[in-house]
Amino acid sequence: MSMMTIKERSSQQFVDVFVVVFLLFVNSPPASSSGVKDAKIWCIEKERQTLLILKQGFVDDYSHLSSWGSEKEKADCCRWRGVHCSNRTGHVTMLGLGSLPIAIPLRGNISPSLVELQHLNYLDLSNNNFGGSRIPEFIGSLSNLRHLNLSYAGFGGTVPSQLGNLSKLQSLDLSPYGGMNVQNLEWLSHLSSLRHLNLQNVDLSNAKEWFQSVNKLPLLTSLRLGLCRLSKIVVPSYINFSTSLAILDLSGNGLTSSSFDWLFNFSSALIEVDLSNNRLQGVIPYAFGT
């Protein structure tokens, strides 16, 4: 059996786009009616300096961050590319430096000054090239983060357990090109607000109790663990996410049919299932049609 899909793949993409558009709308400062020349400067100077330090660590070959600068006409950092501020406090709440063309990504290092942006609730550094370096442990100090996307950003090595400090996190995407691993997933169990988890292509072979850790996420809606070298699934007596999980991808893990008995017992909430490239045999269970 190569793949099982219950509905067309659209739910995850819709949720992601809706979240980003909503946050952009809520956090963008309003434009001045008198034009750019007289527009109110929302940027907090300390956070402006923090962003400039962050820029210094990047190698920006194609001037993606040309709007970031110390010049007078660039005084309002809330108008810089990828930066969005609260229209109530002026604090930087979103930093979206991802989704840049893969052929011309940002490179370099992420400065520890990032932790000064303690009001950040959204951080996207995806599709950049950080040269195989580890995900910085200090990202775990951004306690207000709700959405973190570090996918395909050239990170490698062991995922830091400090990410478990992000207790407000609702969406986490770490999917790499390869070369990233975890020693265990115990830290994941602290993210009780998590709804969307994507660790596709992260080596989880040492995380023997991965299912138990995931099972501590009661609000989980989307789980993507394709190509993760998963060990055999040991199912607890109660599955916390049985009524919330809508999207499941466990493809490419070489799991046998017996590993999925638990799935057939609560498939009513699922709208998308990908079990391709596993060692599945036999007849598709009737439960998938009900």
In tens, the pLDDT along 31-88 reads: 332 233 445 778 999 999 999 999 999 999 889 999 999 999 999 999 999 999 999 9
Give residue-wise pLDDT tens across range 128-143: 999 999 999 999 999 9
Task: Determine the pLDDT at residue 31.
Answer: 39
Give residue-wise pLDDT tens across range 166-213: 999 999 999 999 899 999 999 999 999 999 999 999 999 999 999 999
Q: The whole model's pTM is what?
A: 0.84
> Taking residues 264-280, what's their average pLDDT?
81
State how far the Cα of 75 lies from the Cα of 69, in Å rounded to an integer: 8
Q: Which of 235, 251, 284, 287 is nearest to 266 (CA)?
A: 287
State how far the Cα of 252 lies from the Cα of 180, in Å rounded to an integer: 16
State how far the Cα of 54 lies from the Cα of 109, in Å rounded to an integer: 9
The answer to whether 64 and 100 are in contact (CB under 8 A) is: yes
The pLDDT-based confidence of 25 (bands split at 50, 70, 90) is very low
Task: Determine the pLDDT at residue 166.
Answer: 98
> Taking residues 266-270, what's their average pLDDT?
69
Half-sphere exposure of 11 (CA within 13 A, CB side): 18
The answer to whether 177 and 203 are in contact (CB under 8 A) is: no
Q: Give 12-81 as a 3 state SS string.
A: HHHHHHHHHHHHHHHHCCCCCCCCHHHCCCCCCHHHHHHHHHHHHHEECCCCCCCCCCCCHHHCCHHHCC
The pLDDT-based confidence of 99 (bands split at 50, 70, 90) is low
So where are the chain's domains?
A: 19-27+44-228
Q: Find the distance separating the first CA and the last CA of the chain, reported in whole Å.
A: 19
AA identity, residue 103: A
Answer yes or no: CATH 3.80.10.10 is held by domain 19-27+44-228.
yes
pLDDT above 70 (res 223): yes
Q: Which of 122, 277, 117, 126 is nearest to 198 (CA)?
A: 126
Task: Determine the pLDDT at residue 11.
Answer: 47
CB atoms within 10 A of CB 163: 23
Task: Determine the pLDDT at residue 288.
Answer: 58
The pLDDT-based confidence of 236 (bands split at 50, 70, 90) is confident
pLDDT above 70 (res 285): no
